[in-house]
Structure 1
Amino acid sequence: MDIGVLLPTGTAQWGPADDPRELVAFGRQAERAGFSSLFVNDSLISPRIEALTMLAALAPATETVTLGTAALMPFLRRPIQAAQSLASIDLLSGGRLSVAVGAGFPGRFGRPLYTLSEVPWERRFARLDETVALWRALWDGAASFHGEILRFTEVPPTIRPSRAGGPPIWLGGATPAALARTGRTYDGWLPYPPDPADYASGLRSVRKAAADAGRMAEDITPALFISVRIDDDIDSGRRAMDAYVQATYGMPLGELEKIQAVVTGSADQVLERLRRYAAAGVRRAVARLGALDLRSQRDQLERMTDLIPALLTPADRASASEDA
């Protein structure tokens, strides 16, 4: 398993004196520390730096890390303009972009966003899949697209990404339908199940759907989104994570742990939990750090850095030694 980090782009993760321009330096620090990727999330509900703007700022400021979304909500943007923005970021980063997408959820994190975007809630999954198909067609040079929902004729030439076919596109979600769609058409899977056993069973379903569609298991990156807080004092660590969850979701930690992957505790306890996910099949993890200001975020980043060598495979460790 390799480890990436979710940048704290939301104002709920900033202290009163924090400067959001520090986020670029935060990303560079993570890259130097050995994190494999920098991810950002996407929303109109809570105030945050817009996802693609943040990635565009990181593209020339970093060199090797993957830049990703966890997860981008395509319905918030015009589909052709989004294809242009994503291709531009892929070019500016030298082909380092990965795009995890989602359709939103019922309740305050879903339907209101569709209203604000003037997009119908109905058939949202079909709209998501067609948007991804449109992006891929445009990145391959298509001049028109005719789906059930999205139809465009005489599309002028758009900018092409760094890589043929464009950046890999992952799907977030773990419903049976999402697992089947991931296996059939997506390049990666980015869920957040609380139990590693559920991850393992979901991954089996993804791979079966892939095989049924004539695809290879290795065509799909098995990834994980997980919230992490490392503290020597376990009780104070849980209190800090609870404050983070309350500020982010407006719910107690105990409720979030029922629906999302969350791990708190000592470094050894966090490492053991991550190893359980690795045994379940995870090869890329995106860690959201549970801290409510940039200084505390950097402290958690340093604590996570110490875990990276223990999660690398022998081949990865050998490669890292050669690079050093």
Structure 2
Amino acid sequence: MDIGVLLPTGAAQWGADGDPRDLVGFGRRAESLGFSSLFVNDSLISPRVEALTMLAALAPATETATLGTGALLPFLRRPIQAAQSLASIDLLSGGRLTVAVGAGFPGRFGRPFYTLSEVPWQRRFARLDDTVALWRALWDGADAFHGEILRFDDLPPATRPSRPGGPPVWLGGATPTALARAGRAYDGWLPYPPDPADYTAGLRDIHRAARAAGRAAERVTPALFVSVRIDEDVQSGRRALEDYARVAYGMPLEELERIQAVVTGSADQVLDGLTRYVAAGARHIVIRLGALDLRSQNDQLDRIAELISAVQASAERPSGPEMS
């Protein structure tokens, strides 16, 4: 059972008086408190420290934590250049990189980014799968790649990652198509369903798709992305998250909760909320801290760190969809 934290790389999260250089220290502190992974997100919505730049800074500054993207948007980058960057981070971290990817979403969270990147919105999922397949081919030393969309001949020698085959690549998303693709070709699944029951159902579909593709279901890491705020009670936590949702996402909390997993309340209430997802099958939880400056982020980090052992203990009880 792994519990990680999303670093507050957006300017809205580190606060008006915050120094983004403190994010490296924040990552080191999270590692020392027992968080087993440090994730960064990838977006053009607001000013932020670019995802791969942040992971490159964390690689020599940390020792044991997994360094992850949640989720990287590959279409924002040239695919061969991205493969080189990811392999370099994996090398600099001693093989600690995990790459969760996504294709973006309709509306302000996706389609405009394609226009800015000069990449067509159509067939975006096939392009994503092709990009990941290209990365893996480069990491294995291929000199050519002929995918459904991407085709390259005479590929130059690529930077090889620390691990044979490269870092694990997870898929975000929970549509039926995404579930089938995750089971068929990806190393993990990183969704954020508001209802734990939907997580269980999605994981069951992934296991089914994996077996149909001749893969062992346990090869797909079941992860979860969830926004968390520990406060006096649910009401006070929701008030704080209301401000967070409007600043970070430009939408009210009620709207955010319809599309993302959100857990708040007292420490006991948050523990109960997280263990419901553990019972649903999640085994790597990536926590987004619901706070709007680094001081408050550090406070939430301390509070959640006190729950880590309890959440991990809940994973020892039989739960989740059957693997058979």
| TM-score with structure 2 setting the length | 0.96
Asked if 1:81 is matched to 2:81, the reply is yes
Asked if 1:151 is matched to 2:151, the reply is yes
Asked if 1:300 is matched to 2:300, the reply is yes
Give CA deviations for 1:197-235 in whole Å, capped at 9, x if unaligned.
Answer: 000000000000000001001100000000000012432
The residue that corresponds to 2:273 in the other structure is 273
CA contact (8 A) 1:140 1:164 kept: yes
How do 1:303-318 residues align onto structure 2 when only pairs under 5 Å count?
A: 303-313=303-313
The residue that corresponds to 2:322 in the other structure is none
Asked if 1:141 is matched to 2:146, the reply is no
CA distance in 2, matches of 1:48, 1:255: 23
How do 1:96-111 residues align onto structure 2 when only pairs under 5 Å count?
A: 96-111=96-111
CA distance in 1, matches of 2:256, 2:315: 36
Asked if 1:116 is matched to 2:80, the reply is no
The residue that corresponds to 1:20 in the other structure is 20
How do 1:228-239 residues align onto structure 2 when only pairs under 5 Å count?
A: 228-239=228-239
1:315 Cα offset (Å): 10
The residue that corresponds to 1:182 in the other structure is 182
How do 1:142-291 residues align onto structure 2 when only pairs under 5 Å count?
A: 142-291=142-291
| TM-score with structure 1 setting the length | 0.96
CA distance in 1, matches of 2:233, 2:171: 36
CA distance in 2, matches of 1:181, 1:64: 30
CA contact (8 A) 2:279 2:315 kept: no
The residue that corresponds to 1:56 in the other structure is 56
CA contact (8 A) 2:98 2:168 kept: yes
1:284 Cα offset (Å): 0.3
CA distance in 1, matches of 2:16, 2:189: 36
The residue that corresponds to 1:321 in the other structure is none
CA distance in 2, matches of 1:84, 1:249: 31
1:236 Cα offset (Å): 2.2
One-letter amino acid matched to 1:163: R
1:22 Cα offset (Å): 0.3
One-letter amino acid matched to 1:47: P
1:179 Cα offset (Å): 0.2
CA contact (8 A) 2:97 2:167 kept: yes
Asked if 1:46 is matched to 2:46, the reply is yes
1:270 Cα offset (Å): 0.5
CA contact (8 A) 1:227 1:287 kept: yes
One-letter amino acid matched to 1:294: L
CA contact (8 A) 2:263 2:273 kept: yes
Gaps of 5+ in 2: 317-324
Give CA deviations for 1:101-155 in whole Å, capped at 9, x if unaligned.
Answer: 0000000111100000000000000000000000000000001111121111111
Tell me the C-alpha RMSD between the 2 structures: 1.1
CA distance in 1, matches of 2:272, 2:234: 15
Gaps of 5+ in 1: 317-324
CA distance in 2, matches of 1:34, 1:100: 22
| Counterpart secondary structure, 1:108 | helix
CA distance in 1, matches of 2:125, 2:260: 21
| Counterpart secondary structure, 2:167 | coil
1:314 Cα offset (Å): 8.8
CA distance in 2, matches of 1:314, 1:100: 25
| Counterpart secondary structure, 1:218 | helix
CA contact (8 A) 2:278 2:314 kept: no
Change (3 A) 1:273 1:254: same
CA distance in 1, matches of 2:125, 2:231: 39
CA distance in 1, matches of 2:313, 2:295: 31
Give CA deviations for 1:231-289 in whole Å, capped at 9, x if unaligned.
Answer: 12432221111100001111111111111100110000000011110011000000000
CA distance in 2, matches of 1:111, 1:237: 32
CA contact (8 A) 1:2 1:311 kept: no
